[in-house]
Chain A
Amino acid sequence: MKNSCFAISRALTVAVSMLPFMAGASLSPASAAENEVPLSLRLSPSQYKQSVLEIFGPSISITGRFEPELRDEGLLAIGARSASISASGVERYDDLARNVAMQVVDAQHRNTLIPCKPVSATAADDACARTFFGAVGRLMYRRPMTDKELATKVRLAGEAANARHDFYIGMQAVLSDMLLSPNFLYRYKTVETDPAVAGKQRLDGYSKATALSFFLWNAPPDDVLLKAAASGDLHTKEGLKRQVDRMVSSPSIEGGVRAFFSDMLGFSDFETLAKDPAFFPRFTPKVIDEAQEQTLRTIVDLLITRQGDYRDLFTTPNTFLTRPLAAVYNVPIVETADNGQPDHWVPYTYKPNDPRAGILAQVSFVALHSPAGRTSPTDRGKALREFILCQAVPPPPGNVDFKFVQDTTNPVYKTTRDRLTAHRSEAMCAGCHKITDPIGLALENFDSAGGFRTKENGVNIDTSGELSGAKFDGPVGLAKVLHDEPAVTACVAKKAFSFGAGRAPSATDAEWQQIQAKFASSKYNFIELLRQIALSDALYSLPSSQVASVQ
């Protein structure tokens, strides 16, 4: 991660040096086109947290709840495009804002986070307020504040400070408001006249910087990127390439990779995941947290540290474990550091004949896509189709008769496979279950909590199956087939594009086809995929209605 501590202090120097630029600054003057496609995106909870971390440093804690996210076309990042903020959502953001603002101005933080001291702590100090809000506003709004905005903030802080006889109460009240502002909670894409093409519009530099930064880092633009936006560098191919290359080689790329895979793999559903401790005593709340982290560490290790092939995520024997997770996996781990601290992460490599391989055999997949007490091959197969292969599974029809599944007295239907096979004999059910169950049944060696098993109700579990004509046996066999399945790489490329652009790519788009080709020629290097998307128009293009001539 970037050295995020006190970005505001670092930015202060810049803000002061930019004062001449900001004098008379106004937002882009181009009028908004009447596009019907929303260009703004609501900050996700992780983006909100990362913004506060980057701007105010890690000692500001964020306690509170966020408005639930909305998943659309398989991604929260697309749902953010249409996500409004409800009345109770505003209430939640207000609670969060007040809590953050209170900490920023408290006695512990004010001397480091507010880079000036008021003449009197019991009265307004416009100069100090202006310095602080000018610096912090540029980072929070991801552009310099306008003169009018800044003047309003200074005036209101002064009124509150004088009324309460406390400079810091004024600062707190206005900072709290800024954290509640749509300028902070939404990432707006604003347009300006494109001087290179007569009569056309383009995203302004700050909007480009914001789109780029949240895509690659899941964080707001840093000072260097904001400067590039201000200078117009981001409008040139060379300038954009300089920034993209800098960003993909920064440690902060991990934030972007983690955010993308958390979204793609549906980790937001962990919020409502629970298992019965009577059946799965090792599946503790700690395991729920650590299961996500295990998968993200596996991904970061392979895709960033080793610069590996994306397809190997499904077959890699390398992962990381803690003691609670190792208990679920039923493997001994030997800790060599930290004197046995329970949440210490230890690299672990599966043995050659281990039934587990890759991220789909991890708790974060097999437990997340299972009901609380028992497995559901249909749920797992559906998740695999939708999350990994980008293949839609239609919802089950109403008025389905489950007479075969319900006939548990029949000695033939003893295992889940038996019952589902019977169910699939129903014509109206066969279509969907044919595409979900064979791959879901391959993971039946893992119980609802992710533990390994070989029998169900005393009968050996049959984990054979078929995907796209390739036959396999068991989770490792499935992993190998997935590794060579073209839909796997096409899917991650499509999702990464959508994650950045807030929309799915058009199949006929030449630039999209080029991105896919370069991903393949890089041996499916995921960081190279991100780089290609960041250099393309995906993040910066405007809907056709908006590209129309400006009168």
Chain B
Amino acid sequence: MAATSVLERMLNRRRVLKGMMAGSAITVGLPTFDCLLNDNGNAYAATGAPLQPRFATWFWALGLGEADWRPKDAGTNYELPIQLQALKPIQKKMNLFSGGQVFLDGQSNSTHYTGVQGMMTGKVSSTGGYFGSFDTVITDLIAQGTRFRSIECTASGDPKATWSSRLDTGLQPSEVSPLALYTRIFGPEYKDPNAAEFTPDPDVMVRHSVLSAVKDEREELMRLLGASDRAKLDNYFTSLRTLEQKLAFQLQKPEPLAACTKPGVPEKEKEQALTLATDAMERHNQFAVLLAHALACGQTRSVNYAMTVGMSGLRMEGDPTNHHTYTHEEPIDPVLGYQVKSAWFQSLYMKALYDFAMTMDNIQEGDRTLLDRMVIFAYTDHGAPRLHSIRNYPVITIGSGNGRMKTGMHIPKSGDAVTRVGLTVQQAMGVPISEWGFGSNRVTSSISEVLA
């Protein structure tokens, strides 16, 4: 940011505003598609700016089973267990981490919560709340120049289902409606980066200019409030800045992106909350398409998805008992060695994860696919679901993050802190840290086998 005063910046904006809005719309010609990326397909040809990697988190409930899902072999030559068979076609593009756990350090274990708290924030606290998940650190690193800092959504109908949480404002609300998400991203305010002409929207110019009035109220309020309220007000203005940046994004000529196309409009859903697993799959796939297009069209570089809340209420058609209840009540099949109906849900979630990844993989960006340019961090709330344990967590990463992660491996880490996977992913995405976490969940080295 140039070293100008707020007043100067306001005046400059208003001069531009007045000039632009006095009836003369700006039309900017754009280059043709064949020169969008350089020969290596890893940077914009026009500016030489490198393509930023993209990042996604993907949550599913209630683990994969007892210990039976862990492959016997480590490294690249391993057999996927039955619960993960859906991912077999992309086994070479993923990594499976097993055996990691969350340490309680004397704190109480709140099921469906504490494990995720430890895994995503590096800290277990019975009283400290859920703040600062590591995805937001990655987001802040890669989100510059996008319209949406990140996008959160869930098929569960619960706007509090995703686990992305900022250090200041806490849990980020999720979109529950594909149609609402479509309208938010690709509605009237969307500017096609590949359009031949670009005309700034005069209404957006007015909004961007007048928004300064809200900011002007900050100083007076700060003077009147106590420390705690001032901190809260600061959080509000941080959020307001992202709105200002979003408006600024809409006033700039976007970089052309050959892989960008506008998706179809999803149908309006009948109801917000879902209980049938098949309905959730359908909604998931709608969200996957929208998120893939949002990533390909430069609207965001970071997305967070949750299939359901931890206590998954999804059911099979005609069955009154839901997945969560089955993990508690279903006996282990003496022959197969696992809970059969629970495993049905686990396999379904893995099919959804495969669909999610393939939706990304089907978009070609230069010499790579969108999936190749991103990392999907797929995680769950419990290790063994029957016991709701916080040991032996399955964690899956898919994609190489623009070649920053090696793939195709099973990495067993029995008894290790599962936060090591989080540290590894952060380093792969470029976060300049060498250690992460608190107490026994603090790790000082990453999993070097997977770092390119």
Taking a contact as CB atoms under 8 Å apart, the answer to whether A372 and B315 are in contact is yes
Taking a contact as CB atoms under 8 Å apart, the answer to whether A398 and B390 are in contact is yes
Q: Which of A40, A98, A372, A403 contacts B225 (CB 8 A)?
A: A40
Q: Residue on B with the closest CB to A40?
A: B229
Residues of A within 8 A of B273 (CB): 271-274
Given contacts A32-B223, A89-B173, A89-B239, contact A152 B216 (CB under 8 A): yes
**Surface stretch bound by A, among B320-328, B357-365, B368-376:** B320-328
**A residues 253-304 touching B (CB-CB < 8 Å):** 271-276, 278-279, 285
A160 within 8 Å of B (CB atoms): yes
Contacts between the two chains (Cβ within 8 Å), count: 232
Q: Residue on A with the closest CB to B129?
A: A82
A522 within 8 Å of B (CB atoms): no
Given contacts A176-B207, A272-B272, contact A408 B329 (CB under 8 A): yes
**B residues 310-359 touching A (CB-CB < 8 Å):** 313, 315, 317-322, 325, 328-332
Name the distance in Å between A120's Cβ and chain B's nearest Cβ.
17
Q: Residue on B with the closest CB to A33?
A: B226
Name the distance in Å between B290's Cβ and chain A's nearest Cβ.
15
Taking a contact as CB atoms under 8 Å apart, the answer to whether A396 and B275 are in contact is no
Per-position contact with B for A66-96: 1 when CB-CB < 8 Å, else 0? 0110100000000000101111111110100
Residues of A within 8 A of B232 (CB): 38, 40, 82, 84, 186
Name the distance in Å between B98's Cβ and chain A's nearest Cβ.
19
**Surface stretch bound by B, among A177-185, A209-217, A338-346, A502-510:** A177-185
A401 within 8 Å of B (CB atoms): yes
Taking a contact as CB atoms under 8 Å apart, the answer to whether A285 and B271 are in contact is yes
Q: Determine the interface band of chain B, counting residues with CB < 8 A from chain A.
A: 35 or more
A350 within 8 Å of B (CB atoms): no
Given contacts A84-B170, A160-B209, A173-B206, contact A406 B224 (CB under 8 A): no
**A residues 393-426 touching B (CB-CB < 8 Å):** 395-403, 405-409, 419
A residues at B contact (CB < 8 Å)? 27-28, 31-40, 65, 67-68, 70, 82, 84-92, 94, 98, 146, 148-149, 152-153, 156, 159-160, 162-164, 169, 173-174, 176-177, 180-183, 185-186, 188, 190-191, 271-276, 278-279, 285, 371-374, 376, 395-403, 405-409, 419, 448, 546
B residues at A contact (CB < 8 Å)? 14, 17-18, 21-22, 108-111, 114, 148-149, 152, 156-160, 166, 168-173, 180, 184, 202, 206-207, 209-214, 216-217, 220-221, 223-230, 232-233, 235-236, 238-240, 242-243, 246, 270-276, 313, 315, 317-322, 325, 328-332, 386-390
10 additional contacts, CB 8 Å, given A37-B226, A174-B213, A176-B210? Answer: A38-B232, A68-B159, A68-B173, A89-B173, A98-B207, A163-B21, A186-B232, A271-B158, A372-B313, A396-B388
29 pairs, CB–CB < 8 Å, chain A vs chain B: A32-B229, A68-B159, A90-B236, A92-B173, A153-B213, A160-B206, A160-B210, A163-B17, A164-B206, A173-B210, A180-B211, A183-B221, A186-B233, A188-B224, A190-B225, A273-B273, A274-B275, A275-B275, A373-B322, A376-B325, A395-B110, A396-B111, A398-B109, A398-B388, A398-B389, A399-B387, A400-B328, A400-B387, A401-B387
